[in-house]
Amino acid sequence: MNLAKITIWGLAMILLLLSGCVREPVEIEVPPPVSTKLEVMRIKDVSPQFFELIEHGDFDDITLTIYSMSRFDFTTTLPVSIYHLINWWDDYKTVVIVSGEDLVEYHGLLKQIINAELIPIDREPLVCIRLYYVFEHSEYGELFTFAGFGARWDMFVNGIEVEHNHVFYELALPFLPENLAGEIERFLDGMDQL
């Protein structure tokens, strides 16, 4: 027999063997669908001490520190984390420290924050922070943090990624330089167009 006939007979035998190997269908148990909607939270759920202090107007020992890129259209080669914004971008950032005494005037805005719905997002975060602020208390330490302008335009409240809400950005506006506040307002207006 020549090589071509042997090859053809070999392939025919393999096909016959494979066609005889029929598997029984396997039933796969499919779990019930899982709800992708996570529970809505409020500030009292993620920071009860901050909630209590703001609810009662107790600003005596609170400070607000705001870190922001000095231009929101500033492009970076790598995503900017909170650590990078606080510690590296000295030539491109604005830092503002607000005393509790200055916060009293904005009690109404702070109440909007503590009553705002926080809708968690269940996905891998893409972080490119442009605005970060932290409320601290002289006795309790860090109470509440906000990080905004992530890659998906979502935001982080106490490290939890949640859906966008204007009020968290608006809190920083009265304390930032006018040109920077204007950029944030234009950003928020653009968000309304989406």
Condensed to tens digits (0 to 9), the pLDDT of residues 61-92 reads: 999 999 998 877 677 777 888 888 888 867 77
The residues, ordered by sequence, that sit 6+ positions from 175 with a Cβ below 8 Å of its Cβ are: 64, 66, 96, 98, 102
Instruction: Please check whether residue 7 lies inside any domain of the structure.
Output: no
Instruction: Please check whether residue 10 lies inside any domain of the structure.
Output: no
The pLDDT value given to residue 5: 66
Instruction: Please check whether residue 37 lies inside any domain of the structure.
Output: no
DSSP characters over the chain:
--HHHHHHHHHHHHHHHHHH-PPPPPP-PPPPPPP-PPPPB-HHHH-HHHHHHHHTT--TTEEEEEEEES-TT---SSPPPHHHHHHT-GGGEEEEEEEHHHHGGGHHHHHHHHHS-B-B--S------SEEEEEEETTTEEEEEEEE--TTS-EEETTEEE---HHHHHTTGGGS-HHHHHHHHHHHHHHHH-
Instruction: Please check whether residue 26 lies inside any domain of the structure.
Output: no
> Do residues 164 and 153 make contact, with C-beta atoms less than 8 angstroms apart?
yes
Domain count, the chain: 1
Instruction: Please check whether residue 21 lies inside any domain of the structure.
Output: no
- What is the average pLDDT value for the chain, to the nearest integer? 80
Instruction: Please check whether residue 24 lies inside any domain of the structure.
Output: no
Domain containing 112 equals: 43-193
pTM of the model: 0.74
Instruction: Please check whether residue 144 lies inside any domain of the structure.
Output: yes
Condensed to tens digits (0 to 9), the pLDDT of residues 125-182 reads: 667 888 999 999 999 999 999 998 755 567 899 988 898 888 999 999 999 999 989 9
Instruction: Please check whether residue 57 lies inside any domain of the structure.
Output: yes
Q: What span, in angstroms and rounded, lies between the C-alpha atoms of 68 and 99?
A: 18
